[in-house]
Amino acid sequence: MFAVTRTSQMHCHSLLSAQGRRVLALPFPVQARCVLPSLPLVSDRIRLPCRHVFVQAPRGESPSQQSLKHFDHRLAEQHWAEFWEREQVYRFPEESDAESAQQRFVVDTPPPTVSGSLHMGHIFSYTHADVIARYRRQRGARVLLPMGYDDNGLPTERRALDYYHATVDPSLSAFASASASSALSAQAEADRVEHALLSVLSPVPSKDKASPSPPPASSSSSSSSSSSSSSSSSSSSSSSSSFSSSSSSSCSSTCSFSRAELHRVADTASRAPLKKLARTAISRAGLAELCERLAAHDEHAFAQLWSRLGFSADWSRTYRTSDPRCQRIAQASFVHLLQQGDVDHREAPTLWDGDFQTAVAQAELEDRQMPGAYHHLRFELLAEDGVSRAVAHSNDGLDGAALTFTVATTRPELLPACVAVVVAPDDRRFKHLIGRTALTPGFMAPVPIMASDDVDKEKGTGVVMVCTFGDQQDVKWWHSLKLPLRQVLNPFCKFAEQVHFVAAELSASSMLNSQQMDELPVDGGECPMNMNTFHSLNPDRANELYAQLRGKPVSIARQTLVKLLDTMHLAGDVPVLEKVEPIEHAVKCFERGKKPIEFLTTRQWFVKTQQHQEAMKELCEGLDWKPPVMKRVLDAWINGNKMEWCISRQRFYGVPIPVWYRTNKDGNPVYDDPIIASLDCLPVNPHIDCPPGFDPTQRDQPNGFTAEADVFDTWFTSSMTPLVNAQWDGIQSPSLDLFPANVRPQSHEIIRTWAFYTALKSYLHCKQLPWEKIMISGWVLDPQSQKMSKSVGNIITPTPLLEKYSSDAVRYWASSAQLGVDTRFDEGQIKVGKRLVTKLFNAGKLVRSLVKRSAVDISSPGNIRLLPFDQCVRLETDALIREVTTLHEEYAFAHALQRTEKFFWKAFCDTYLEILKPRFGDAFRNRDELASGAVVLDGVFHDLLVLFAPFTPYIAEELHSWSRPGSIHRNSWPVVSDPLEGPVLVTDLLDHVINFKAIMHQLDTKRKQEEFRESLSFAQVQTHPQSEVLLQYSGVVPEVYMTTRAENVMLSSSEDIPFGSFRIVGK
């Protein structure tokens, strides 16, 4: 007996007639191609391999199982989260043999930044990672899905300062002596800050209503930086299965308030009263303590949300990038790279953010469209005799315009920092200017006119002024042309106070005297600092003009200088400012900042990336991208990256750089001879620990030592996550059982940062890729198609949606999106997921009821003979399993969900269940047919639960528990054999659903007609020959029996009846 489609009926009928077999057309929707053999007749015995052992283990029933009226997702989520935690379902099995190593699957989970609450963008990408991990776990792999928290660096520091309304005063020292006393001092300082915050936000403290005074110095329950870091993982693990909003640890008994009360008030109360008060000044150590406390509070809330979402992490492997182990790994990486010559320390032009007052890396920049303008400024040419002939406001009868040229610039405020003018060497318009000297407008500073192939002749006027520094191209020209340094901006990106112009002497050749040129730096070497004395032909006027800029931010200084230039004229009444041309252009900004980035010359630590560019290209060719199109993002970054990776940050909280400097007799650091911590003593805090051969009394003293003030870039630590997961200690090689990881899931905007930096560090340390595959998720967009981001203020928090629709419904929305594609948030899609969960629950109740009503022992399905109709259903389900497995292997989980969902709704619910229900009715009970239907119904439904389990883990576990022991999330993936050999027939049965529905509708109509009110002695159902077997085993005969009340019902076939139709003849 075969399953055929309408297009192949004639061919198959003639073929099978010759074999003496009947032809069966199935009326349920399956689009897969399936190979069906010559199926035996009903009288033959059919054996299928036993898939499961249907023995219910003693286990506490879930709330939904106790009451089958509806699925209470809140109670079920609580119940199953506790079960998974108790049974350690997601714990990574520790194995060491080679065979087990082949079965392991390690996910390099991105550690979220601890800077507030999570939003739907986080839920989106982390669900993708969890789906892949759950699928692999169901396939029997040893899955490590760790969870980490990126809680060091700028985001955590800024959140703590804003949260506690504090500011850091570096002159305050809680690191006075030994580490124990400094930790005690830091804790007491943090206690006082917390108490002050609570006193302002809630004037009557919860536990000490009478005394508003700060608590005394004591050791609070929040430990020092190192101890609190190490304990956070266990606290996250133990609390991950609880959905309650209990707070983190409370203060010690000596504190007059509860830390739980502090966070409750600080998270919910209006912060308006704080705006009227000055921020509380704290030391660097006090800030570290506050960051640790707040991070522990945030991470506790994160763990609760991840657990509720069903994120199947091994919470025992939780790490924090600020904990001692991660600090050791980061510092060990630094020491190794320094020993290899891949890290250096120098003064150089650095990308600088004035808001945060720190250096940043090129990978942390983003382009933002901002309004600007081309300011067309006239520069004067120095006359051949070395005398300026176009002095402002002079009128000697000469044509002033003939002695000038025009520069179009978007940065006119940097005129005092102009060090040269460049033109294209083949530009005929300006070739005669090369080698001459120009005078800057207003400031009258003599600068050389030079040639450069990098000048774009079509941009602006074709003449470019070089300033130190306006952009990356200025830095390049400064290096290649060996230009002097004139820095006019301070670390706040305001015009410096100490800039001063002095008179410049001119030689007869009209070029600057060599003594008047600023000291030239060696190309690629260090920059001279404090170059604040500049030369001018009219220093009094230059100083007067600069005084109008002194202390002003860049944007205000630009407006001020443009107004001043607009009043100036050259000889012949030629205006200095020709015109202002408004434009809209892309401006480089720090991704966390609000203002354009600047270039300042500062002393920094750099990882040398340029020398490894070609090696990185070759290495990353072996990386498998999902989706492949995302590979071009990394390729473009590697090809376009022109700067070394700056890894030092001028902040107070982060992983310390393990370096000290000797001080000279004046107490100044000697940077040429740093003291590097040894590997065996890591981690170290140079602000607390002393270098070998020194004692605490020599700290910050002449002929003593001083600590490196900077901390690592947070990417320097988070780029080590594959080695963190592999238990690398900085000395021994990482565990081969855990490194390299199998997959890195992440979003596309951090390919150039986290993906590149991780690959780079893995290459520098291990000379191999850190993972086999990289899986890229898109962004979640708001209704206006903007990226959902806390900085934009358009985020949607997940908790209300989880409460309203269930975690499975939210996961369904996230899983429906394809990799690499930005997805607009759609609550309607979550409602669709909710309907799916409800349908699964109702279908599970029906399946359970029908199987129970059959009274068939299905514990040994291999001993039950299947009807051809049921066997075809089983084979079609196997075809679905093979297709979904292939899609998961290709990381196309969105398509896997789509195919499974379509089969469940159309084939299983709308067709097979409807066909099967009459077979279990009281009016027509055949033992063999009941057994066949029960075993296939139970097996197919459970296989569908397994296919849904990676996407909807709670409802899948709930329904699985009704008939099977253990968890559905371990070793449960169906193992199906390859398609059986035999004639290949295409089974596209979706169209037959319409025919079958028409049949059922006709039966229902006939039941109500007058002629069927009386009982018949005989009823004959006539149908097409290919439909005869369909009617025999699909429940139509019992329906006719009940409708006609006939004593006998017979089936017959007739070629003149269309396929899918029938007629009933009675007497």
Give the pLDDT confidence of 379-395 residue by residue, as tens digits. Answer: 999 876 554 544 433 33
Which of these, 211, 201, 198, 191, lies nearest to 262 by C-alpha position? 198
> Residues in the chain, how many?
1067
Structure tokens at 818: 């394809």
Categorize the per-residue pLDDT at 1037 as very low, low, confident or very high, splitting at 50, 70 and 90: low
789 vs 780: CA distance, rounded Å: 9
| Nearest one of 752, 744, 745 to 771, comparing CA atoms | 744
Distance separating alpha carbons of residues 110 and 130, to the nearest angstrom: 12
CA-closest candidate to residue 830, choices 810, 806, 808, 850: 810
Q: What is the pLDDT of residue 1046?
A: 65
Predicted pLDDT of residue 994: 42
Q: Is-cis flag, bond preceding 29, omega within 30?
A: no
Distance CA 621, CA 843 (A): 48
457: helix, coil or strand? Answer: coil
Report the DSSP beta bridge partners of residue 602: 348
* Range in 6-10, 273-277, 366-370, 772-776 with the lowest mean pLDDT: 6-10
Alpha-carbon distance of 737 to 724, in angstroms, equals 13
Residue 491, CB half-sphere, CA atoms under 13 Å: how many?
11
Beta strands in 528-651 (DSSP E): 533-536, 569-570, 574-575, 577-590, 598-607, 624-626, 645-646, 648-649
**Whole-angstrom Cα distance, residue 598 to residue 467?**
12
CA separation for the pair 955, 836 (Å, rounded): 10
pLDDT, tens only, 768-796: 999 999 999 998 888 777 888 776 777 88
State the pLDDT at residue 512. Answer: 46
Q: What is the reported pLDDT for 337?
A: 96
pLDDT of residue 254: 41
What's the rounded Cα separation, in Å, for the pair 557 and 543? 15
Neighbours of 451 (CB within 10 A): 17
Does residue 891 contact residue 132 with C-beta atoms inside 8 Å?
Answer: yes
Bridge partners (DSSP) of residue 660 are 675, 707
pLDDT digits (tens, 9 = 90+) for 164-179: 999 988 877 654 333 4
> Which pLDDT score, from 0 to 100, does residue 736 have?
79
Whether 214 has a pLDDT exceeding 80, the answer reads no
Residue that wins the pLDDT comparison between 23 and 259 = 259
The distance of Cα 715 from the centroid of its chain, to the nearest Å, equals 14
Q: Identify each DSSP E strand in 80-165 by its residue range.
A: 104-106, 142-144, 148-149
pLDDT at 925: 64
Instruction: Determine the pLDDT at residue 99.
Output: 55
List, for residues 829-873, the tens digit of each pLDDT value. 999 999 999 999 999 999 999 888 888 777 777 678 888 778 878
Give me Rg for the CA atoms of the chain: 38
Q: What percent helix, strand, coil does the chain show, rounded to 5?
A: 40, 20, 40
Residues whose CB falls within 8 Å of the CB of residue 345, separated by 6 or more in sequence, listed in order: 603, 604, 605, 606, 671, 674
> Is the pLDDT score of 45 beyond 70?
no
Residue 754 has pLDDT above 70, yes or no: yes
Quick one: three-class SS letters along 338-354?
HHHCCEEEEEEEEEEEC
- Percent pLDDT > 90 in the chain is 51
CA–CA dist 563, 740 (Å, integer): 60
Mean pLDDT of 886-900: 96
Would the pLDDT of 1005 be above 70? no
Q: What is the pLDDT of residue 840?
A: 96
494-508, 711-725, 921-935: range with highest mean pLDDT: 711-725
Average pLDDT, rounded, for the chain = 79
**What is the pLDDT, as a whole number, of residue 405?**
93
pLDDT on residue 8: 30
Cβ distance 597 to 588 under 8 Å? Answer: yes
Amino acid identity of residue 945, one-letter, is: L
Region 981-1000: mean pLDDT is 41
**CA quadruple 457, 422, 563, 557: dihedral sign:** positive
Q: State mean pLDDT over 554-564.
A: 95
Q: Which residue is it, tokens 């669709």?
A: 832
CB–CB of 745/755 below 8 Å? no
Please, which residues bridge with residue 379 across strands?
405
Structure tokens given for 305: 């949300």
Q: How far apart are CA 485 and CA 521, in angstroms?
A: 8
Lowest-confidence region among 253-262, 507-516, 957-966: 507-516
Predicted local confidence at residue 582, as pLDDT: 93
**Which among 815, 783, 777, 809 has a CA at the least distance from the CA of 796?**
783
DSSP string, 499-538: -EEEE--B-TTSSBPTTTSPPPPPTTSPPPS---EEEESS
pLDDT band at residue 664, thresholds of 50, 70 and 90?
Answer: very high
Torsion of the alpha carbons at 962, 966, 969 and 972, rounded to the nearest 10: -90
Q: List, in order, residues 6 or more apart from 986 with CB less than 8 Å away.
A: 5, 7, 8, 33
Higher pLDDT, 176 or 932: 932
The span from the CA of 750 to the CA of 361, in Å, is 13
What does the block give as tokens for 31? 């689009």
CA of residue 439 relative to chain centroid, distance = 51
Whole-angstrom CA distances from 872 to 1, 46, 349, 866 are: 10, 12, 72, 9
pLDDT tens, position by position, 417-454: 999 999 999 999 998 999 999 999 999 999 999 999 99
Tokens of 255: 């504190």
Name residues whose C-beta falls within 8 Å of residue 859's C-beta, 6 or more positions apart in sequence. Answer: 53, 54, 55
Query: What is the number of H-type helices and E-type strands within the chain?
Result: 31, 38
pTM above 0.85, yes or no: no
- Provide φ and ψ at 744, rounded to 5°: -115, 110
* Amino acid present at 536: S
* pLDDT number for residue 602: 93
Rounded to whole angstroms, the Cα distance separating 765 from 606 reads 16
Query: Binning pLDDT at 50, 70 and 90, where does residue 937 land?
Result: very high
